[in-house]
Structure 1
C-alpha cells in the first residue's frame, strides 16, 4: 500500500506539473493580436491545464503530506516504546548510547528525545568518567 501511495503521489505531481506548465507556456506565448480561433484555443488550453493540473497537484501533495505524517507517527511510537522498555529493563537508568543504539537513531536525536523526556518526567542525568551520559528516571 505504501509503495502504491508513493507511485500515485509521484504520478499525480508529475502530471499536475506538466499540465500547469502547459498553461504557463500558453500564457507566456500568447499572441498579442490573435484571431478568434487562436484566442479560443489559447483559453481552452489554459483552462484545461488548470482544471487538470491543480487537482492533480493538490491530491498528490495531500498524499505526500499524509505519508509524512504517518511516518512521523510510526517513528514517535517506536521511540516511545523503546524508551519505556529501556526504563523498565534498567530500573529507570538509560544511557544515551544504549538508547540511540536500541532506537536506531543518531546520538543527537537521542539526546534531544531524552532531554525532552527528562524535562517531562523531572529526571536527572550524570556524566561518567568516560564521558557517557546517563539519565535517571524515577520509577
Structure 2
C-alpha cells in the first residue's frame, strides 16, 4: 500500500504550494487511520528537507516519488522512495528513512533481482 505517489515535479509543486503535508495526511487517513499531530508535523518538516535534497537538475522531473510505502507481508513502512531509470534502461530505486539527522545520496541504486535496490548497508561486500 502506498500513501502518496507522484513524479518529482509534482512532489516539488506540492511542497512549493505548502500542500504536501495535507496531501499525505488526507491519503494516510483515507487508507490507514487517523494521523496524529506529531506525524503531520514530521511530514511537513521532512518533506521540506527532501525538497531541498531533490532540488537538482541531476534528478529528472519524471522520477517517481512514493511516501509511506507499506512493505508487503511486514508491518514496516518506507518513509520516502525515489524511483526511475539509471542509464536510461535499468530500473532503479532509492529508499530513505527520514530522521532529523538523515542524509540522502542523490545517486539511484540499481534494482536487484529481488526487486529491492541494495542500500550501502545491504550491498554485497558492505560491512556494518
Give the TM-score of the pair, scaled to structure 2.
0.24
Which structure features the higher share of helix residues? 1
Which structure features the higher share of strand residues? 2
Give the TM-score of the pair, scaled to structure 1.
0.22
Task: Report the structure number with the largest CA radius of gyration.
Answer: 1
